[in-house]
Amino acid sequence: MWASELIRRKRDGAGLCPEEIEHLIRGYVEGDVGDEQMAAFCMAVFFQGMSDEETSSLVKAMLSSGDTVDLCGIEGVKVDKHSTGGVGDKISICLAPLVAACGVPVPMMSGRALGHTGGTLDKLSAIPGFRTEQDITTYQRLVETHGLALIGQTPELAPADRRLYALRDVTATVESVPLIAASIMSKKLAEGIDALVLDVKVGSGAFMKTLSEAQALAEVLSAIGWGANKPTRVILTDMDRVLGRMVGNANETWEAIEVLQGGGPDDVRELTLILGAEMLILGQRVGSEAEGRTLLMEAIDSGKGFEKFQEVVAAQGGDPRAVEQRSGLPSAPHQEEIGAEQEGTITAIDAEKVGWAAMRLGAGRGRASDSIDLGVGIEMMVDIGDCVKRGEVVARLSHRDGYGTVEARKLLQQALIITNEGFIAQRPLVLDRIEEGKQ
Amino acid sequence: MWASELIRRKRDGAGLCPEEIEHLIRGYVEGDVGDEQMAAFCMAVFFQGMSDEETSSLVKAMLSSGDTVDLCGIEGVKVDKHSTGGVGDKISICLAPLVAACGVPVPMMSGRALGHTGGTLDKLSAIPGFRTEQDITTYQRLVETHGLALIGQTPELAPADRRLYALRDVTATVESVPLIAASIMSKKLAEGIDALVLDVKVGSGAFMKTLSEAQALAEVLSAIGWGANKPTRVILTDMDRVLGRMVGNANETWEAIEVLQGGGPDDVRELTLILGAEMLILGQRVGSEAEGRTLLMEAIDSGKGFEKFQEVVAAQGGDPRAVEQRSGLPSAPHQEEIGAEQEGTITAIDAEKVGWAAMRLGAGRGRASDSIDLGVGIEMMVDIGDCVKRGEVVARLSHRDGYGTVEARKLLQQALIITNEGFIAQRPLVLDRIEEGKQ
């Protein structure tokens, strides 16, 4: 079985059998299949797609390229949440402690920022002393002791995905539904979860720009989850906006903490309740969304969610008092205000441009090896539908010595579409759901 | 300019400008663009194609990745011939000396066998002592002194093509018209030629299986040649057959020598005259095809073509007496006959299978690093349209200790399609021509 022959068959539209996909992935990890061959294969998949069976084989092959964590000995239905990535998406940071505080264990492994989207790991690393790099044993102990772990992916899990992800990034083969789905699901299934909630982002700030693309991805993700006997719910949510007001690292972490403390922006709190209720249902803690929301609100009001967060911050080496006030987290020394270029109504916000603006300030990374500035970021002062006067402050940049402000200002001005229309309704937060797997 | 961004744009169907293509190719040669990126780019080109302008930019970029030979100081219009490769295609070996004997200088650089098609260089290396690896200075001297050089491509010419060719071979990105065209033309334009005759093979034994594919390639080749101010003629010839009776290395060289000595199979002699006449026209030696054929026939009958061949064999270190008789060239120690499996008419010959059969005996190579056996090969005893009795000898294998004979026998039996039809007309040798470039 030659790799070039398998690439050729995929190129020409043929389906590959499980053994052939396993052969390719194992060969790749073991060095018999080169980066150049895997890159050509990914590009062929971009054009020819993969059947559900092929995608499922790819997940299995990537999963079996490394270890799988066993959390069976830990009581409860372990549920994780994964988001496909957006701008201002800090939901995991408030969601995971709240769900854990409600009694459902959350074994959460997150990723770093790449491109215009942020990463939960970077946001968490804004907490002084907090260590996201933990080994499997510590991860298991965290879930067992605290019902919550907030760590980065360990190198033992799905190593094929790690290499493939880096390869796809430099070869323009990221935007392929089967490849995205296999990447997400191989990592998640290796974590030892019992069930999964997926937040598939749709819109200018997401990888999936249209609802139909997102639905296609959602269907595949759902099928893989259920196929692996892991009840999976997929919520498709709006990313034609910035989620919350804050974009950056420390400022996003703080906005999530505000939700844990009973405050925070409406949309961040609402999405936390929506996703949290799904996790509590899958975790067999509640029977309905309404029941789930009530339980989560109680965890906020009682302070139990925030206590759980502080407990895990301490367990992972962080300073639990540092997360009590904004001043406990890093901030950039300089501020700059952006004024509206004209009078009118904010008709649209190009969230991707806002994400790139934050990246220019140093909040994100263009390449995996770039370092980031945890203190810099953007505060959005307006939302879709707001009326503004010319010169009115629409955003605030937190920057370090002016680094990247010229490009960030330009991108922000481009991102805000101001017209003379009178009333603009924002898209609903939830655009679609897939709750049950195909039988 | 990021390579990944250029790959993405090609992937999404956009055209690249000359600077962008130059950036990619130069980056590839200098190491800034990785094999994995170039492989993804080639696969994107496979699916999205390239405009004539892009292909022309690719040729220029590959050409300028290395040196270009200057043959301007040498008198005469220098004309080369290139074939896209087929089974039993030994034409260069008799064609080049005949054209040179008629007074048109032929600076010929050839390639090695890969896959089911043979390579002129391997066939020539069957001549004892003959050295095909020559440096540029020797090449220039050979053309100046003898009006003929029969050498392999030197490493200074189009190094980008050398790397790309090896890359495409292992990544299933060979079968792309712009990539094939750029590979051929960058090498040919680097040789220092004034004009070019191209033999584009069409059929089961060729890379281009259908006439329409071959015509598309021919159009692009012609456009590139004329675009570089090199008058170019493209002849599309039949490869739903084996050219001549011999497939292998020493036995093909001998069949070409038979043509030089006034014998040889009809189709080999005829194609030599057709291509030779075109070369003499482009070389401004004759005004018409008829005149060219007459001149070439004279060079055969007078022995001047064979003398020219012996002259160059000697100039390149070979033994000129070794090419006077079949026994001067290597041959395999063992013979085996293949009998017809049934009675009937030979309706078709799958030339690709015959090529693979020869490869199994050791005459070709699966990978560039494989070594080959110059003495082994196949002699076809029948042609399309012939009637055979069951058990009648249809082919003879020359092999070494039975190596590969089981697979070769099986492939040959599969290659010969014998039916009950009464009369079958073979396709004409010449299927189409492109004589003038688009203005």
Which pLDDT belongs to residue A166?
86
Counting one residue from A and one from B, how many pairs have CB atoms under 8 Å apart? 76
Confidence check: pLDDT of A349 > 90: yes
List the domain range (segments joined by +) for residue A381. Answer: 331-419
Cα angle for residues A149, A151, A157 (degrees, 5° grid): 110
Q: Which of A65, A125, A176, A183 is catalytic?
A: A183
Interchain contact, A43 vs B38, CB within 8 Å:
no
Indicate whether B20 and B132 sit together in one domain.
no
Interchain contact, B11 vs A37, CB within 8 Å:
no
Residue B46 corresponds to which amino acid?
A: F
Active site residue A187: yes
Confidence check: pLDDT of B33 > 70: yes
Residue A171, CB-side half-sphere exposure with 13 Å CA sphere = 31
**Which residues of chain A neighbour B7 with C-beta distances below 8 Å?**
171-172
Indicate whether A220 and A300 sit together in one domain.
yes
Which pLDDT belongs to residue B423?
78
In a domain, A283, yes or no: yes
Q: A277: domain CATH number? A: 3.40.1030.10
Across chain A, how many H-helices and E-strands are there?
16, 13
Indicate whether A45 and A125 sit together in one domain.
no
Q: B35: domain CATH number? A: 1.20.970.10
Which pLDDT belongs to residue B439?
40
In a domain, A70, yes or no: no
Grouping H, G, I as helix, E, B as strand and the rest as coil, residue A107 is: strand
Confidence check: pLDDT of A261 > 70: yes
Model confidence band, residue B427 (pLDDT cutoffs 50, 70, 90): confident
Confidence check: pLDDT of A439 > 70: no
Percent of chain B with pLDDT over 90: 89
Confidence check: pLDDT of A23 > 90: yes
DSSP strand E in A70-129: where?
A: 79-83, 106-110
Q: Which of B187, B188, B269, B353 is catalytic?
A: B187
In a domain, A55, yes or no: no
Which pLDDT belongs to residue B437?
64
Residue A83 CA to residue A434 CA, distance in Å, equals 15
Interface predicted TM-score (ipTM): 0.85
- Rounded to a whole number of angstroms, the distance from the CA of B114 to the nearest CA of chain A is 14
Indicate whether A302 and A335 sit together in one domain.
no
In a domain, B126, yes or no: yes
Percent of chain A with pLDDT over 90: 89
Active site residue B399: no
**Which residues of chain A neighbour B47 with C-beta distances below 8 Å?**
43, 47
Of A67, A73, A253, nearest in space to A145 by CA: A73
Residue B92 CA to residue B69 CA, distance in Å, equals 21
**Which residues of chain B neighbour A38 with C-beta distances below 8 Å?**
36
Confidence check: pLDDT of B426 > 90: no
Which pLDDT belongs to residue B438?
53
In a domain, B341, yes or no: yes
Confidence check: pLDDT of A1 > 70: no
Indicate whether B256 and B401 sit together in one domain.
no
Interchain contact, B46 vs A7, CB within 8 Å:
no
pLDDT tens digit string along B184-218? 999 999 999 999 999 999 999 998 999 999 999 99
Tokens of B340: 């017809």
Residue A323 CA to residue A258 CA, distance in Å, equals 10
What average pLDDT does range A327-339 have in this prediction?
A: 97
Which pLDDT belongs to residue A424?
81
The region, left, alpha or beta by phi > 0 then psi within -120 to 50, assigned to residue A224 is alpha
In a domain, B230, yes or no: yes
- Say if CB A397 and CB A336 are below 8 A apart: yes
Model confidence band, residue B1 (pLDDT cutoffs 50, 70, 90): low
Indicate whether B300 and B396 sit together in one domain.
no
Decide the pairing of beta strands A416-419 and A344-349: antiparallel
Which pLDDT belongs to residue B436?
77
Q: A351: domain CATH number? A: 3.90.1170.30
On the 0-12 / 13-18 / 19+ scale of CB atoms within 10 A, A329 is: buried
Interchain contact, A11 vs B172, CB within 8 Å:
yes
Among chain B residues, CA nearest to A43: B40
pLDDT tens digit string along A91-103? 999 999 999 999 9
Confidence check: pLDDT of A302 > 60: yes
Interchain contact, B171 vs A7, CB within 8 Å:
yes
Tokens 């367990």 -> residue: A315
pLDDT tens digit string along A217-243? 999 999 999 999 999 999 999 999 999
Interchain contact, A43 vs B44, CB within 8 Å:
yes
Indicate whether B98 and B220 sit together in one domain.
yes
Indicate whether B21 and B126 sit together in one domain.
no
Q: Which of B36, B167, B173 sits opposite A170 (nearest CB)?
A: B36
Confidence check: pLDDT of A170 > 70: yes
- Rounded to a whole number of angstroms, the distance from the CA of B38 to the nearest CA of chain A is 8
Active site residue A360: no
**Which residues of chain B neighbour A171 with C-beta distances below 8 Å?**
4, 7, 36-37, 39-40
Which pLDDT belongs to residue A437?
64
Interchain contact, B43 vs A38, CB within 8 Å:
no
Among chain A residues, CA nearest to B36: A36
Indicate whether A17 and A143 sit together in one domain.
no
Which pLDDT belongs to residue A117?
79
Last residue of a domain, one of B326, B349, B370: B326
In a domain, B297, yes or no: yes
Active site residue B401: no
What average pLDDT does range A8-34 have in this prediction?
A: 96
Indicate whether A87 and A234 sit together in one domain.
yes
Give the residues across from B117 on adjacent strands: B114
Number of domains composing chain B: 3
Indicate whether A374 and A406 sit together in one domain.
yes
Tokens of B33: 């663009």
In a domain, A60, yes or no: no
Indicate whether A217 and A344 sit together in one domain.
no
- Rounded to a whole number of angstroms, the distance from the CA of A335 to the nearest CA of chain B is 31
pLDDT tens digit string along B353-386? 999 999 999 998 777 777 899 999 999 999 999 9
Active site residue A82: yes
Confidence check: pLDDT of A311 > 60: yes
Residue A60 CA to residue A189 CA, distance in Å, equals 9
**Which residues of chain A neighbour B171 with C-beta distances below 8 Å?**
4, 7, 36-37, 39-40
User: How many Cβ atoms sit within 10 Å of the Cβ of residue A129?
Assistant: 12
- Say if CB A419 and CB A345 are below 8 A apart: yes
Residue B132 CA to residue B74 CA, distance in Å, equals 21
Among chain B residues, CA nearest to A366: B2
Interchain contact, B169 vs A39, CB within 8 Å:
no
A interface with B, Cβ–Cβ below 8 Å: 3-5, 7-8, 11, 34-40, 42-44, 46-47, 167, 169-173
